[in-house]
Amino acid sequence: MRFKSNNCVAIHLRSLSKAERFYRDILGFKLKSKTRSCLEFDTGHFKLYVNRSSKAQPPTPSFSVKSIVRARKLLKGAGCEIVVDRGRSLYFRDPFGNVFDVVED
Structural domain boundaries in the chain: 4-104
Determine contact, residues 51/41, Cβ cutoff 8 Å: no
Q: What is the tens place of the pLDDT at every residue in 8-28?
A: 999 999 999 999 999 999 999
- Count each helix (H run) and each strand (E run) in the chain, helices first: 2, 8
Determine contact, residues 14/56, Cβ cutoff 8 Å: yes
Give the pLDDT score at 16: 96
pTM of model > 0.85 = yes
- Report the length, in residues, of the chain: 105
Looking at CATH, the fold of the domain delimited by 4-104 is given as 2,3-Dihydroxybiphenyl 1,2-Dioxygenase; domain 1 (3.10.180)
Q: What is the tens place of the pLDDT at every residue in 21-80?
A: 999 999 999 999 999 999 999 999 999 999 999 999 899 999 999 999 999 999 999 999
Averaged pLDDT, 92-99: 96
DSSP lists the bridge partners of residue 60 as 10
Beta strands in the chain (DSSP E): 4-13, 30-34, 38-42, 47-52, 57-65, 81-85, 89-93, 99-104
